[in-house]
Amino acid sequence: MRRTRRAPLVRLGLLILVMLSLAQTTDVVRRGSPADARFFQMTVWAYENPGPNWESTITDVDVPMFGYGNPQPPELSIVRFDGWYQTALPVSAAVYDWSRILAVVVDEPYATRLDEVAWTGPPVENYRALNPCYQHEGNAARRANVLETRAKLLSLASSMHDVAPRTRFWVNFHEHEVTWMRDVDCPLTLNDPAIDVVSLDKYEVPFSSLEDEYEWFVSSMPQQQLALVPGTFWMADESPYPARNILYGYFDYANRKNRVCDVGLGRVGRTGHYDGCRVWIVAGWSSIPWYAVLDATIRTEYVPGVNNYVGLLHPSSAPIADAWRSELAKAPRRR
């Protein structure tokens, strides 16, 4: 009788164990964390101004990145277009071998340009008050700056499309810029279908707190691809381990989104490089061993009173570099 009564309990216990096992397996699939493969390509933001202490990042990437005006690498690469606003248009087809450039990236176009407009309004922490869409004192010049910036940016995109139709045009938006675009009372139209890839600059927070921003990009322009930009740095006087842990959330999201690449080919058509995948690339910022700015000058040593960013290539960034390189060592899928 006891045996008969316990048998269903034993079977129930086995069933629960099987269900838990399946749930764990499903969670691994959902999180997209295969042991020996990844479903995305990787790069790191290279030095803005290569100098005498420059170090190559070629062993830390699938696709290297280089600055516009610098020598083109022999392999496929991404060109970082820092001085885009001062560039005469149209862009010359003779500058590079565009068949070897997978993307052109423009970093924080509006926030960078707005830094040049005098501002005595609300503090920078008040993102909504900073929105040039609102009628604040002094905002007329900021609104005009945004309109000029947008026109120049879209002209650059058009020029790049003409010169290199298979090269993706990628804009990395500042967190302020995304907040302004999403303001329901006064949204700014900063994104555009002419942009092939979009990403977001916001660091030192778990990816779960950013996922809604990326999903908003997807819902507003479904044919755009995403780039994810995790911090591959830590702040001096803090610790590299939180940044290391945050990386895994980016990897999981990219793996999960790219299990099925059904976004469509988009404007660039078939290139053979993560076409149709929601996440086009994961791009770490930054590789620079030490980065601090004082009096508009980049310093490569500790500077009291300013932000000191310790990047991927600094020896003390080993926990971050190890996590990055462990992921890079996995075989990429869907190239």
Compute the C-alpha angle 39/279/180, nearest 5°: 155
Tell me, what's the pLDDT at 122?
59
Domain boundaries, the chain: 1-30, 41-332
255: its two tokens: 């793996």
Please classify residue 56 by burial: count the beta carbons closer than 10 Å to its beta carbon, then call 0-12 exposed, 13-18 middle and 19+ buried.
Answer: middle
Tell me, what's the pLDDT at 135?
74
Phi, psi (degrees; rounded to nearest 5) at 77: -155, 175
52: its two tokens: 């005498």
307: its two tokens: 């932000």
Tell me, what's the pLDDT at 82?
86
Cβ(98)–Cβ(167) below 8 Å? yes
Tell me, what's the pLDDT at 255?
96
Tell me, what's the pLDDT at 237?
86
pTM of the model: 0.86
| Residues listed for the chain | 335
Instruction: Flag residues of the chain having pLDDT under 50.
Output: 1-32
The rounded distance, in Å, linking the Cα atoms of 280 and 210 is 17
246: its two tokens: 């945050």
For the stretch 67-98, pLDDT in tens is: 887 888 899 999 999 889 988 889 889 889 99
The rounded distance, in Å, linking the Cα atoms of 296 and 316 is 25
For the stretch 120-163, pLDDT in tens is: 665 656 666 678 888 776 678 888 999 999 999 999 999 999 99
CATH for 41-332 is 3.20.20
Cβ(308)–Cβ(288) below 8 Å? no
